Amino acid sequence: MQRPESFPLQGLIVSCQAPISSPLHHPSVIVAMAKAALNQGATAVRIDTPAHIQAVREQTDAPIIGLWKRQFPDCEIYITPQFDQALELAQAGADWIAIDATNRPRPGGETLHILIDQIHRQLNKPVFADVDTLESANLAFDAGADLLATTLYGYTPSTRHLTPPGYNLLEQLVQQFSCPIVCEGGISSPEMAQKALDLGAIAVVVGTDITGIDQKVKSYQQILSTPKSVRYAE
Ligand SMILES: CC(=O)N[C@H](C=O)[C@@H](O)[C@H](O)[C@H](O)COP(=O)(O)O
């Protein structure tokens, strides 16, 4: 492992993504978000789709963690499920390939071991392993993952009853694995991010709270009720 002080992913990483249905899901918007985040000191960005990665890569040399959310029939895994997607992410300019590193079935019967091995051997890229539990972290680490992140805590059948951020998972990962550990998912304030770093994360990835206009407005609207009458001061 690289010495911690020279490790490229440190401190705050900003996830610049938008739902496909959102007007924000456009390369120029994603580039603007990424540049704004990097201008303010984020050390890296996490970007979805080859098109968005390529657009960001044209504008910055900062580290890009690439992923590709792809849905396949009868398959729960959607974060870079297969090598084909990893290849396109690397060609688009991603420095790190983020994958769902749980041991659930992948389309085409690919295994986690083979996927990580191919990313290393054929693409020469490090693997950012999104995990949900200590068990999947063990499998991912044994399969050669270069970094473990708590990204899927709260989003898989075995963790759906839990609410991110996965601080308890983070603590376990920090204690048990000799690779960098990242806290990702559910961080919604600088204080929460600091807590993750205090618990031993080398970096935190923040998405919705910084770049998630769609989700943030939706959550305001779910709470706010329409005023029944508006009163004015006499
Ligand atoms: C579970 C999943 O699909 N997570 C995705 C991974 O790329 C993104 O949708 C999240 O926004 C990202 O992990 C950051 O998390 P948060 O938006 O909570 O800060």
Q: What domains can be seen in the chain, in order of their start residue?
A: 8-222 (3.20.20.70)
- Tell me what ipTM this predicted complex has: 0.99
For 206-225, the pLDDT digits (tens) are 999 999 999 999 999 999 98
By most ligand atoms within 8 Å of CB, the mutation choice from 12, 13, 16, 17 for ligand 1 is 17
pLDDT band at 226 (very low <50, low <70, confident <90, very high): confident
Phi-psi region of 124 (alpha: psi -120 to 50; beta: other; left: phi over 0): left
For 154-170, the pLDDT digits (tens) are 999 999 999 999 999 99
Written as one letter, the residue type at 44 is A
Question: What are the backbone dihedrals phi and psi of residue 170, each rounded to the nearest 5 degrees, phi first?
Answer: -55, -50
By most ligand atoms within 8 Å of CB, the mutation choice from 184, 205, 210, 214 for ligand 1 is 184
Question: From CA 59, how far away is CA 192, in angstroms rounded?
Answer: 30
The answer to whether the pTM exceeds 0.90 is yes
Per DSSP, 23 falls in state T
Q: Which residues line ligand 1 (CB under 6 A)?
A: 15, 17, 67, 151-152, 155, 184-187, 205-209, 212
Atom of ligand 1 nearest to the CA of 46: 7
